[in-house]
Amino acid sequence: MQEIEPYYNWEKHYVASRDKRSPFYKRTYNLNYYENDIYGYYVHPLWDYIGTETLYVKILFADYNKHFAIIEMFGEWNDSIHNDIMFFKRQVIDPLLTEGINQFILLGENVLDFHGDNDSDDYYAEWFEEVEDGWITGMNFRDHVRQEWSRYRLDYYINFGGTLEFDAWRTLQPEQFYELVKKLIIRRLA
């Protein structure tokens, strides 16, 4: 697991630890020291710890003028034991909402599993209401994760599946990727 790194080819455009408006501003990374783990397996030090034992994130890009953020996720999304959505919402999403971000692209290729909980629904509903005229999309999550999301009716809050499974996102620049996703979402919501 320590070999799975967050995507870093957009760092010439954006680095969350250098962004004064980012929840990870001034965070430092020691590439020689692995301290965070998931179930005893160390994770790469570039993943950002958000307070939960099982879920890590990396803000790959944020544009405050266009009001969007692209966030890559890693680990096990576990709402039933660790209430990961609470940590994700309070530590990452709330600060971004405060800065005017209302369009969220979540990349989930490295989310290995999802464990839902009916009591966590409030955080998803709150987030959905707070984006107002924006949207939340989950892209490239594994089939069994999307199935669990549907089982817990998270498709009411998060757009995912179908045309939103776009494996070639790394071939695009962040703004191009956002514009593509935005067109797909607008079609879906129309």
In a domain, 9, yes or no: no
The answer to whether residues 22 and 59 touch, using CB atoms and an 8 Å cutoff, is yes
In a domain, 29, yes or no: no
In a domain, 103, yes or no: yes
CA quadruple 155, 187, 10, 104: dihedral sign: negative
- Work out the end-to-end distance of the chain between its first and last CA atoms, rounded to an integer number of angstroms: 40
Please tell me the distance from the alpha carbon of residue 71 to that of residue 26, in angstroms, as a whole number: 18
**What is the pLDDT, as a whole number, of residue 121?**
83
In a domain, 23, yes or no: no
**What is the pLDDT, as a whole number, of residue 1?**
62
pLDDT per residue as tens digits for the range 68-118: 999 999 999 999 998 999 999 999 999 999 999 999 999 999 999 999 988
In a domain, 179, yes or no: yes
In a domain, 166, yes or no: yes
- The tally of domains found in the chain comes to 1
Please tell me the distance from the alpha carbon of residue 65 to that of residue 100, in angstroms, as a whole number: 8
The answer to whether residues 170 and 5 touch, using CB atoms and an 8 Å cutoff, is no
Residue 133 has pLDDT above 80, yes or no: yes
pTM for the structure as a whole? 0.96
Q: What is the mean pLDDT of residues 4-29?
A: 96
pLDDT per residue as tens digits for the range 156-186: 999 999 989 988 999 999 999 999 999 999 9
The residue with tokens 């320590």 is: 2
In a domain, 77, yes or no: yes
Where are the alpha helices (H) located in 63-138, listed in sequence order?
84-88, 94-98, 121-130
- Which residue range forms the structural domain that includes residue 168? 48-189
Return the CATH number at 169.
Answer: 3.30.750.24
In a domain, 35, yes or no: no
The answer to whether residues 107 and 68 touch, using CB atoms and an 8 Å cutoff, is no
Q: What is the mean pLDDT of the chain?
A: 94
